[in-house]
Structure 1
């Protein structure tokens, strides 16, 4: 059996060992109004002038529905009932022009391209996402994972080959290629032993390896999963940046392990494989710090992850463990902003080596990033720092950032109504705090609608 320990460069990690809430004490407060840029107040309804009246009314309607907790909390059940009552075709006719059109780019490449071309004209960049949802107990065999790999390879092709692509990104979910059950077992084993990244890299290159603690069937599945990941990374390297999603904390050590192996192999001349950094956790995994140092995604609860957080809390309570999630929204923001500030300082020294996407809908964190970029002399167009938000959400922030010259990506899922339905349910649940508090965006949309109606009356 071949296994050994990962040797992490701990001196490099020392500045980040207390990067959570403690680090936030060193951050310049974004709550000081004197520090806020007037252009990033996100108060101007003119940001929506680029949208059609139909798009404005659709967004208003969807956000109004999302403001009712009972609808959001039970959206999965309600959609299942509606699908049974209306039938597949009737349900699609209801969902397609409403929730689907708000949050999904389209079903085929022509529809996706139309959405992407419009985004490009608005200064927004695409981050395509194959909406594959799989949880514990849902594994269906190697064929499903192979099919998922083919879907992701098609995502790489679309991300790179179209005119609307500019420094394209895509999202990747490891449990779409490797069973969640194996990720949980491997994460449990990693609590007592560490595995050599070079060993996993050799497995990606085709060498047959065995990890201590896994049986023959599990090792075989791991090899298949690593080779699927390798295939996607090979196709995307030097063309499309791959952002690996975070998932539940009880499987994230394994996800970080395979992601770091991909980073070790493919991040030679630039950061093509990025990891996710979860700032809603009280205790941050040093493996995540290592991934962050090599070039990763900065992600906190502001971006979503709410469904994960709720399940993690319930599991911790059931098993008598300490709640791994920050106790309050404020604590999470402090952790996020502290981590963000630390990474920006690193980037200001070595902008060519480190890259980060500030994936958040939180206006305070966005303004803080812009302020610190200006203070640290980080170029907006240098490629080291960009922003990320979900398609169909927080457009008043996204469009303002684009107008001010910042690189802003929108996470863009695509596929049929049936394929994207589980994604839409999870997104609604993850972001219900954001959706319920989206009153400001609704108000700005309403102001733009009223402005157009008044202008129409004047011109009549």
Structure 2
């Protein structure tokens, strides 16, 4: 199997194993690397560049993104399962998904490792209101998938500190999360959801929660125990679990159970991390409040810092239900919120890198450069585990590749699974990230330049290794 993996990688990207070429990409350590340099794309095959240009062009058409679910369904009915599968593997699935089998996933992980990047696996299972299943069977099956993700993350990692992503609504219904979020807003009912009581429930004790029906309470206890199993196994395997934020109407419940997991598993270092969406007006105050809890309860604290991806739906709901828009009104305000939270975490890490960690999950070059500058000023090592960077697989590669070649810890979020299981995830991500997809003109231009360079080189002489 090792021979098969290594030979597959050699065919996939010959230059990626060339130390001389890697050194050529690295800038002077004393200077800030430029993300305007498209040379990093020379680590990619020509077919990968063509695919990326095709997918990004399609994603830049708003009407296609808005109706992509209907278009995909229509394409499947016309082409049939086999041709539709080939089309998807040649386009969006191939661009943004690692694959379906363990071998495909490990090949993708190894390719990233050889380009100086790390993998953060994500099982594309989530749930929104109205999608909850009856009984516990589906959630138990999702638990098995999460435990498999821990195993693959550990066995496929080429470096220390493997990571994976977790959506709480894969293990606990979104309807119940919304119900708990409502209860948390009432002081008289919120006291029963203390971290200590949740921890007792996670460990198998029978804990009663007033305000929940017997069915809701039973499902909550099952969900907490599923989360406990993931956290326990991940810590045993030394895999860090990054819990994703979702919609504002369920986020209080997601943060609640995540903080309970932190209290249990983050006693010596941060194995469980929570996500903060800086496009929300209250994101900094939420982060500050949770930090205070971590200090008071004496557990370590890990943060995944994002801008956010649910803008359209959040604003639509605020308008329909006549409550204040929770999203910052301008890009500048969101940037300020992001950098404010980032600076606070970096200051804490500079003082105590064992108790605090952050992944700067951003496709924004200004935020990446801001973080790099602050790390240098504070003396935070760029190759450590306390500060790292993250981007989605198949997006923002011009930033990810340069960061990786410069020695920073950079992770690519890697969803995996069958085409049928991943398509709903891809549709949601495309529609939620339409603003990001519309703003990738620079990456498209760098890809075009590299493709044109290869065309000119081929027409004037022998083909290079990646052609």
What TM-score does the superposition give when structure 2 sets the normalisation length? 0.87
> How many Å apart are 1:346 and its aligned residue?
1.1
**SS across alignment from 2:342:** helix
CA RMSD of aligned residues (A): 1.5
Cα distance between partner residues in 1 of 2:108 and 2:351:
37
Q: Which one of the candidate residues 309, 323, 326 is aligned to 1:324?
A: 326
Q: Is the 8 A contact 1:256 1:287 kept in 2?
A: no
1:54 aligns with 47
Corresponding residue number in structure 2 for 1:211:
209
Structure 2 contact 99–418 (Cα < 8 Å) conserved: yes
Q: What whole-Å deviation, never above 9, does each CA across 1:342-364 have from its counterpart, x for those lacking one?
A: 11111111112100000000000
Kept after mapping to 2: 8 A contact 1:125/1:166: no
Q: Which runs of 5+ in 1 are unaligned?
A: 1-36
Deviates more, 1:187-196 or 1:85-94: 85-94
224-233 or 430-439, larger mean C-alpha shift: 430-439
Using the TM superposition, give the Cα deviation of residue 453 of structure 1 relative to its aligned residue in structure 2, in angstroms.
1.8
Tell me how far apart the structure 1 counterparts of residues 210 and 381 of structure 2 sit (CA, whole Å): 46
- How far has the Cα of 1:166 moved from its partner? 3.3
Distance in 1, Cα, partners of 2:51 & 2:257: 41
> How many residues align structurally?
420
Q: Which residue of 2 aligns with 1:358?
A: 360
Q: C-alpha distance in 1, partners of 2:285/2:370?
A: 25
Deviations 1:118-164 (A, max 9, x none): 11100110000000132111111311100100000000000012353
1:114 corresponds to which residue?
Answer: 107
The 2-side partners of 1:400 and 1:431 are apart by 23
2:369 maps to which of 358, 367, 372: 367
**In 1: Cα distance, 2:428 partner to 2:185 partner:** 29
Instruction: Determine which of 419, 428, 431 is the counterpart of 1:429.
Output: 431
**Superimposed CA distance per residue, residues 335-383 of structure 1 (whole angstroms, 9 cap, x where no aligned partner):** 1111111111111111121000000000000000000000111111232
Q: Which residue of 2 aligns with 1:299?
A: 305
Displacement of 1:291 in angstroms is 3.9
Pair 433,163 (structure 1): closer, same or farther in 2 beyond 3 Å: closer
Partner of 2:200: 202
Matched, 1:192 2:186: yes
Residue 230 of structure 2: aligned partner: 232
CA separation in 1, counterparts of 2:302 and 2:43? Answer: 32
- CA contact 1:275–1:291 (8 Å) conserved in 2: no
Work out the CA distance in 2 between the residues paired with 1:210 and 1:118.
49
Bigger drift between 86-95 and 397-406 goes to: 86-95
**Contact 1:170–1:241 (8 Å) recurs in 2:** yes
Gaps in structure 2 of 5+ consecutive residues: 1-29, 295-299, 463-467
Q: Distance in 1 between matches of 2:59 and 2:279?
A: 23
Compute the TM-score of the two structures, normalised by the length of structure 1.
0.89
For residues 225 and 311 of structure 1, the distance between their equivalents in structure 2, rounded to whole angstroms, comes to 26
- Structure with the bigger RCO (C-alpha within 8 Å, sep 6+) is 1
Structure 1 residue 289: Cα displacement = 3.0
Distance 1:338 1:451 in 2: 41
**Stretch deviating more after TM superposition (279-288 or 318-327):** 279-288
Deviations 1:152-202 (A, max 9, x none): 000000001235353100000001100101100100010013321000001
